[in-house]
Amino acid sequence: MLFGVLWAAFAPLLLLAALAGLAWVFRRLAPGRLGWRGALLAAAIVLGAPLGWIWRQDAAAFQALCRAEGATIIREKAQADGILLTSGTSNSFGMRYLHSEGFAWMESNDIYKRGGFVRYARNDKGEITTTKIDAPTARYEVREVFEQKPNVGISRTLVLDRQSGRELARGSSLSFDGGRLKWVFGAWGVGSCPSARDDPAVFNAWYHLAKNTLR
């Protein structure tokens, strides 16, 4: 775990070491013609050209996936105090639907009992209570689905009407792990769309999709 974190942060330093090593080789091969500045420039071209070409290819493929997923769409709005959350993080990160998204209660699968269900609700003190239930009663479902593609993770959020089967809204968030050069660039080669830093309005439209559709 610690090794992975350190590698992600400092991987580009190995690229600098490779650059210096290649420059040293060039100096040895042509001592009378290349100074250190020329050797470093030659090494940068030899290393940078193929690495840049590979990274641009992978980044372009990622952007194409972002365009294919499309923007967050709300086809129809409704009003609901609670939801059925179908998600692998319903009892952890999914609690944001109660804490910050404005819902009073939320139903989900019981992680301790296969085929069981629970209802989480805020009481008057703002505390979360848990009650086992036989079956979900919420009309609207928020379904979070994750798909792993080569070098890209896709998190999709769907808002569904359980009575009619209609899809009210959908949105996606994609993360890029750096592609074929992930071990070279580490954390410096990753990306996401929508980006909370570069496109906060677009990111918030996806992040608050359930709230914007049902509250």
| pLDDT single digits (tens) 106-148 | 999 988 888 899 999 988 887 899 999 999 999 999 999 999 9
Strands 167-176 and 191-193, bridge-based pairing: antiparallel
**Do both 40 and 8 map to the same domain?**
yes
| Residues spanned by the domain of 196 | 73-214
Looking at the domain assignment, is residue 139 inside a domain?
Answer: yes
**Do both 78 and 54 map to the same domain?**
no
Can you tell me the distance from the alpha carbon of 64 to that of 7, in angstroms, rounded to the nearest whole number?
Answer: 28
Looking at the domain assignment, is residue 20 inside a domain?
Answer: yes
Can you tell me the distance from the alpha carbon of 18 to that of 14, in angstroms, rounded to the nearest whole number?
Answer: 6
In sequence order, what E strands does 56-211 have? 73-74, 82-86, 105-109, 117-122, 128-133, 140-149, 152-161, 167-176, 191-193
The reported pLDDT for the residue numbered 4 is: 55
**pLDDT, the chain, mean:** 88
- Residue 201 has φ and ψ, to the nearest 5°, of -65, -45
CA-nearest of 123, 118, 131, 79 to 104 is 123
**Do both 91 and 177 map to the same domain?**
yes
Per-residue buried b or exposed e for 56-68, using 16+ beta carbons within 10 Å of the residue's own CB: eebbebbeebbee
Residue 3's pLDDT band, with cuts at 50, 70 and 90, is: low
- β-sheet bridge partners, residue 169: 74, 159
Q: Residue 101, by phi and psi: left (phi above 0), alpha (psi -120 to 50) or beta? A: alpha
Domain count across the chain: 2
**Do both 54 and 83 map to the same domain?**
no
Looking at the domain assignment, is residue 66 inside a domain?
Answer: no
**Do both 129 and 154 map to the same domain?**
yes
Of 1-10, 18-27, 39-48, 101-110, where does mean pLDDT reach its minimum? 1-10
